[in-house]
Structure 1
């Protein structure tokens, strides 16, 4: 917590949970726990999100699927997973066989086996789940240059339709290409007015450049920043949440897309930005 400007205004876990119970209705929380329903609500509110290529809700639907209709690149996700678990990515296709990011072949049987696990609830808190196929997201080159592999994303904390704090999460070699701060991805505070990175942390260590790419982080700007904030501001109306964390990526072709809306956003953004959430959402 030493990066915080002061201990005043810090939001602890108990206070956060109490705030959520007062602010976010059970109906809204159930909605955002369902990725497909959330996507439909976001689209209805005019908020940008990735289209759904295919929704698989049962083994019967899986067996009826013509897998040749899938494009060369895609992302397969559980509908109600936690922590980004259970995602299968195709980065291309060679001789009719899809390939993972590491170049490992993904056969039709591999896809069917993975779907079986998703449908059986292996990655979900529920006993059964659905599977979503979405277009593969390619990071905007300005953000890809700041990251080591993986997909950088932006967390925006909103109170109603008003963004209050924002950070960029950048994968590193230590994080295995994932944007998880607890796995030593970089958290970079983003100034709401300008979209400029004003500080960055890897764990509890300040950094000014990415340790793997060498690219300067401080003063780098998030592309399409005004559109990022506009997307985040639409999440409350779309979902019914009054306090939320919007996770947004900037796709090279489509621009900002909302990946997920969180009813219980974490508290690490306080360390990264140096501002306590209690004050930020007062």
Structure 2
């Protein structure tokens, strides 16, 4: 059962549309992309150790609405987040005529521009398409429900939809390649040595199923979870954590050192 305090997808979209009209008056978005957060049932710190994990998607996620812009005007992308739990500023611009580099501030931007940079590098579209977007999420940031992967996969989905209509030779990514791209973006731009589980779940999870992932070869099996006698309860401890802070990276290093000894 979903708590009444949780923002539904319908409410999330309504909030986005209202904010979009205020930000870009007399303009209409043409693309809407979404990716869920996740909860992991068993297998913590296992994905980057080539083990098995058992996550499932949750009814919270990140939604992005926006549209492509006329590149004859400029080659800039306008990106805004509605989240109150990220650092300032809440809006950034990305010049597509220049190399896309890591942001020192705001830190949230790296999860978005990292995906943009690697997407362009991977797909090599015949022309770079400027755009304007607004991002909103119902996933508690820093709550252990993969808000970062949700943002990354939603961003990659938006770009796929954008270039599907604007680039003649565009070839869509497979779901696994999409997850790998988003994972790499977080590693390079956000400086988090994460494994594949979060992004993989956001790309591959099915409704009423958990996902048994073999992180050795990035294969998975959907396990039915729809049962009247089964309930997965996720609580928010309100204890914030930040993977960039260093403790996560230290755990990754400890695991690597232990594996080398063994």
Shared fold, TM over 0.5 = no
The structure where helix makes up a greater share of residues is: 2
TM-score norm. by structure 1 comes to 0.27
